[in-house]
């Protein structure tokens, strides 16, 4: 008995020892590979971030220099310099310094001496501290980082001509914690970043992005390396890169030190290590028990045969153990083996027919759903499902027959199999293949889809036949577009239908535009019913003339009070109207209602300019100018009282047709406004080809206008240049008094937003205008 127990114990210990050794070796290997991968990724990210930081500094230099160049054209400044009026020069420099966020402004004479210094009244007559910057300022825009009084500044030097060179304006922009934090918000710069200045005692940090990691102190006693290096700082490991900045010879060295924390990068692995340890403990327990039972079953052949019978009954057709006996038990074991093999072959044939496509020998849609569910249950956190459709298949079947069609589909499946070696490939329908890519993001999914389009784009050739299949790929992301396999497949198919009609033949699933949602399908019919029964209404948002502080115009906005759903946001049914082709009916209704209402207001002595939005489909209607002209004539409203608002996207689709329609509207003296100006691709060079009379500054530049100096500069520039080009300017999204007063101070024509009034029904608008006029 002791011998049997010893054998079982030795077998269990051997199994456990082997399992522990393999797990520990695997853990060490995974940790080493992961750490090396993170180091390489950190070095790559630091190199990218260093280039991004230098690019942002160049952009800062360009913006500051552009503003100072405007200052250099100031007649008053040039006259003051010519007349040696130091007081006026000092005042102008201080004003412009505040606008660009400069801590110090200087006027340097042609002989290299400082004429005026906003930060040091005693600096007049002293030599300019950085003569090498002044030496090249008249040849090109000069900018560099300098160290002054243990601080770092971005110095921009701009010449002044009147018309001959009369001096240089020097701008000192402080490179402090706030500026680094702002640059970090605008880009992908790392959270650990410092600016360091070389001092006699070593490198000292003068500015930090977020916290004090001690990166600059780690440079002490070491030379600057152009490549990232791994260093231990305060007990933590960082990959450190010191980026030298452009600076004059006369300044102490200044570097940007960027850090990538390996500890933070390895933090997600802790949960993996815990799970690994738990899995190891579980494996040890299960292994010990399995070894004990296996040793125990060696001496029990009858129990083994009974177990084999039970497995076959449950559908497990593995061969029973060979007893190596010639008696009745041996014959029974052999019969069990033959029976199990026959059952396995029959079940395999049934499974093959149920889960595989007989033409391509690929798994079918049912098998694909099962594979996705298995991956989900196994803990896959994200992935992509690609639905590949061949849009010309029905035409090929009708023309060439099913035999050639089957050969073509086998060829397409073979191409996809060679391409997607790490993906689960299946044939979803007669015309579609599906690829399941676990653990990939959107970028990787697009890369695979592009390769698929390239591979399947090659025509199928056979004898004298060459066939283009016109592939299209729809992508649904797991779990964002569906957590269940059936939902994910359906959404990928919807995306593939969208891709079929797109120029790229590639599309992601978009729930907001999914025409197959039940609520969206019902809303289509309800919108048509609302248009037929005149259930929609217009609200009017006042536009305030900033010069007179009176409301002299409104923007007409469509509202739908659904009988069951309540008030629906415009974005829910406007896009639906565009998709279903009802947008033109909706626009005609809005134009007729708005023009009729403006005519009624005018009859009551209230002259209000009304604006109506047009969509891209409206600009495809060549008769639109004639229709609007008829409405204006019918209601006796002067064309100057109407403005149509368009977006740049409405023109980009069919620019020639849209241009003809807009020209027809402008010829009838109907105003044309560009809505949401400043986002997308809007530019003055683009607008000069359009008969535009008004620009509406997008609310993203106006929302924080009262406190954001950058937005103030942008809006001021848009207003000034628009006026020079003959455009009126309206600011959207005014939500506070500070923004309103700033817009008035820079000469903006109109403003609209919640601070003035929300969109009002026509009856309440009359009272609001009267109250505003009385006030």
Mean pLDDT by 10 residues, the chain (775 residues): 48 71 78 77 75 74 72 75 82 84 87 88 85 80 80 85 82 82 65 74 73 67 66 75 76 78 70 74 72 56 64 64 61 67 68 75 89 91 93 75 84 89 88 93 93 90 82 93 90 89 86 64 74 85 93 93 79 75 87 95 92 90 93 94 87 79 94 81 64 91 92 93 92 94 95 94 91 74
Helices (H), 468-546: 485-500, 518-532
The rounded distance, in Å, linking the Cα atoms of 27 and 469 is 48
Clarify whether residues 259 and 399 are in a common domain: no
Clarify whether residues 504 and 525 are in a common domain: no
pLDDT of the residue at 673: 93
254-261 β-sheet, strand order: 202-208, 192-199, 254-261, 236-244, 229-233
Residue 691: phi and psi, rounded to 5, are -80, 60
Tokens of 395: 């035409």
User: Within a domain: residue 352?
Assistant: no
Clarify whether residues 506 and 524 are in a common domain: no
User: Within a domain: residue 320?
Assistant: no
pLDDT of the residue at 213: 66
Clarify whether residues 445 and 535 are in a common domain: no
758-764-770 Cα angle (round to 5): 100
Quote the pTM value.
Answer: 0.42
pLDDT of the residue at 7: 47
pLDDT of the residue at 534: 77
SS3 label, residue 408: helix
Among the three residues 513, 540, 568, which one is the final residue of a domain in this structure? 513
**CA distance readout (Å), 503 to 473, 494, 498, 506, 672:** 12, 16, 10, 8, 30
The rounded distance, in Å, linking the Cα atoms of 362 and 410 is 9
Clarify whether residues 137 and 231 are in a common domain: yes
Residue 292 belongs to what domain range? Answer: 1-299
- What H or E segment, with its residue span, contains residue 207? strand 202-208
Clarify whether residues 289 and 437 are in a common domain: no
Closest to 595 measured CA to CA, from 604, 608, 605 = 608
Tokens of 23: 């797990």
Query: What CATH number does the domain containing 419 carry?
Result: 3.30.70.270
User: Within a domain: residue 114?
Assistant: yes
Among the three residues 513, 543, 564, which one is the final residue of a domain in this structure? 513
Clarify whether residues 570 and 471 are in a common domain: no
Q: 702 Cβ partners below 8 Å, 6+ apart?
A: 711, 715, 731, 732, 733, 734, 735, 739, 743, 753
Q: 521 Cβ partners below 8 Å, 6+ apart?
A: 515
Helix, strand, coil percentages (3-state) for the chain, rounded to 5, are 50, 20, 25
Residue 382: phi and psi, rounded to 5, are -155, 165
Clarify whether residues 608 and 480 are in a common domain: no
Dmax (CA) of the chain: 125
Clarify whether residues 558 and 440 are in a common domain: no
Q: 647 Cβ partners below 8 Å, 6+ apart?
A: 674, 675, 676, 680
The rounded distance, in Å, linking the Cα atoms of 149 and 160 is 28
Clarify whether residues 277 and 143 are in a common domain: yes
Closest to 757 measured CA to CA, from 550, 532, 473 = 550
Clarify whether residues 506 and 557 are in a common domain: no
Angle between helices 709-724 and 737-745 (to 10 degrees): 40
pLDDT of the residue at 334: 66
User: Within a domain: residue 360?
Assistant: no
Clarify whether residues 270 and 375 are in a common domain: no
User: Within a domain: residue 355?
Assistant: no
The rounded distance, in Å, linking the Cα atoms of 266 and 260 is 11
pLDDT of the residue at 3: 39
User: Within a domain: residue 307?
Assistant: no
Residue 695: phi and psi, rounded to 5, are -120, 140
Query: What CATH number does the domain containing 685 carry?
Result: 3.20.20.450
Count Cα atoms within 13 angstroms, Cβ side, for 272.
Answer: 11
pLDDT of the residue at 631: 94
User: Within a domain: residue 595?
Assistant: yes
User: Within a domain: residue 383?
Assistant: yes
- Is the separation of the CB atoms in 416 and 455 below 8 Å? yes
Among the three residues 299, 321, 349, which one is the final residue of a domain in this structure? 299
- Is the separation of the CB atoms in 207 and 195 below 8 Å? yes
pLDDT of the residue at 1: 37
- Is the separation of the CB atoms in 127 and 244 below 8 Å? no
Exposure string (b/e) for 710-724, b if CB count within 10 Å is 16 or more?
Answer: ebbebbbebbeebee
Dihedral sign (CA 755, 758, 762, 764): negative
* In the block, residue with structure tokens 């003339």: 545
Residue 633: phi and psi, rounded to 5, are -65, -40
Straight-line distance from the first to the last Cα atom of the chain, in angstroms, rounded to the nearest whole number: 108
pLDDT of the residue at 715: 95
**What is the domain count for the chain?**
3
Query: What CATH number does the domain containing 102 carry?
Result: 3.30.450.20
């Amino acid at each position: 008995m002791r011998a049997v127990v010893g054998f079982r114990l030795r077998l269990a210990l051997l199994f456990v020892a082997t399992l522990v050794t393999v797990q520990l070796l695997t853990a060490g290997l995974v940790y080493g590979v992961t750490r090396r991968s993170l180091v390489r990724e950190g070095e790559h990210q630091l190199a990218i971030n260093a280039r991004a930081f230098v690019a942002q500094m160049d952009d800062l230099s360009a913006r500051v220099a552009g503003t100072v160049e405007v200052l250099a054209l100031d007649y008053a400044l040039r006259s003051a310099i010519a007349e040696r009026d130091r007081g006026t020069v000092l005042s102008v420099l201080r004003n412009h310094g505040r606008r660009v966020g400069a801590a110090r402004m200087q006027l340097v004479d042609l002989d290299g001496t400082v004429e005026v210094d906003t930060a040091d009244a005693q600096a007049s007559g002293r030599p300019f501290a950085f003569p090498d910057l002044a030496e090249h300022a008249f040849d090109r825009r000069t900018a560099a980082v300098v160290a002054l009084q243990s601080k770092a500044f971005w110095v921009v030097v701009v010449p002044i001509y009147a018309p001959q060179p009369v001096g240089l304006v020097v701008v000192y922009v402080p490179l402090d914690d706030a500026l680094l934090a702002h640059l970090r918000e605008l880009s992908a710069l790392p959270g650990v970043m410092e600016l360091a200045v070389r001092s006699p005692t070593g490198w000292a940090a003068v500015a930090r992005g977020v916290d004090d990691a001690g990166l600059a102190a780690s440079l002490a006693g070491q030379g600057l390396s152009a490549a990232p290096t791994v260093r231990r700082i305060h007990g933590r490991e960082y990959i450190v890169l010191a980026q030298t900045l452009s600076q004059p010879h006369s300044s102490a060295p200044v570097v940007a030190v960027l850090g990538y924390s390996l500890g933070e990068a390895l933090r997600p692995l802790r949960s993996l290590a815990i799970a690994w340890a738990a899995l190891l403990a579980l494996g040890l327990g299960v292994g010990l028990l399995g070894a004990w039972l296996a040793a125990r079953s060696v001496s029990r052949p009858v129990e083994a045969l009974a177990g084999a019978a039970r497995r076959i009954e449950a559908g497990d057709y593995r061969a029973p153990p060979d007893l190596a006996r010639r008696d009745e038990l041996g014959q029974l074991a052999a019969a069990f083996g033959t029976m199990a093999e026959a059952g396995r072959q029959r079940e395999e044939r049934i499974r093959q027919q149920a889960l595989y496509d007989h033409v391509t020998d690929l798994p079918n849609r049912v098998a694909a759903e099962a594979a996705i569910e298995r991956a989900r249950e196994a803990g896959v956190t994200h992935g992509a499902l690609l639905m590949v459709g061949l849009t010309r298949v029905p035409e090929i079947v009708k023309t060439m027959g099913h035999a050639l069609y089957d050969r073509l589909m086998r060829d397409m499946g073979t191409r996809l199999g060679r391409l997607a070696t790490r993906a689960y490939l299946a044939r979803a329908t007669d015309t579609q293949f599906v690829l399941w890519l676990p653990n990939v993001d959107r970028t990787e999914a697009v890369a695979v889809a592009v390769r698929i389009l390239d591979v399947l784009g090659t025509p199928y050739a056979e004898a004298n036949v060459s066939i283009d299949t016109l592939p299209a790929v729809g992508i649904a992301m797991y779990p964002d577009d569906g957590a269940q396999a059936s939902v994910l497949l359906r959404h990928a198919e919807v995306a593939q239908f969208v891709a079929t009609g797109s120029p790229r033949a590639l599309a992601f699933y978009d729930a907001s535009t999914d025409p197959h949602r039940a609520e969206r399908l019902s809303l289509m019919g309800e919108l048509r019913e609302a248009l037929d029964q005149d259930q929609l209404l217009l609200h009017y948002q006042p536009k305030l003339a900033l010069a007179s502080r009176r409301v002299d115009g409104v923007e007409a906005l469509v509202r739908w009070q659904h009988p069951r759903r309540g008030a629906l946001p415009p974005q829910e049914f406007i896009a639906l109207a565009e998709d279903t082709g009802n947008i033109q009916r909706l626009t005609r209704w809005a134009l007729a209602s708005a023009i009729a209402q403006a005519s009624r207001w005018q009859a009551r002595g209230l002259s209000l300019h009304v604006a109506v939005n047009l969509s891209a489909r409206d600009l495809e209607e060549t008769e639109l100018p004639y229709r609007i002209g008829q409405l204006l004539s019918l209601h006796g409203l002067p064309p100057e009282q109407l403005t149509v608002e368009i977006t740049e996207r409405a023109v980009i689709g069919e620019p020639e047709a849209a241009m003809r329609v807009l020209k027809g509207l402008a010829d009838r003296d109907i105003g044309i406004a560009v809505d949401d100006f400043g986002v997308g691709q809007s530019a003055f060079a683009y607008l000069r080809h359009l008969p535009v009379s008004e620009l509406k500054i997008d609310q993203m530049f106006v929302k924080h206008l009262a406190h954001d100096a950058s937005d103030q500069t942008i809006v001021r520039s848009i207003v000034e240049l628009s006026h020079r080009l003959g455009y009126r300017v309206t600011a959207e999204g005014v939500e506070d008094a500070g923004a309103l007063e700033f817009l008035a101070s820079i000469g903006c024509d109109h403003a609209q937003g919640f601070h003035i009034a929300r969109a009002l029904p026509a009856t309440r608008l009359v009272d609001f205008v009267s109250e505003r006029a009385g006030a």
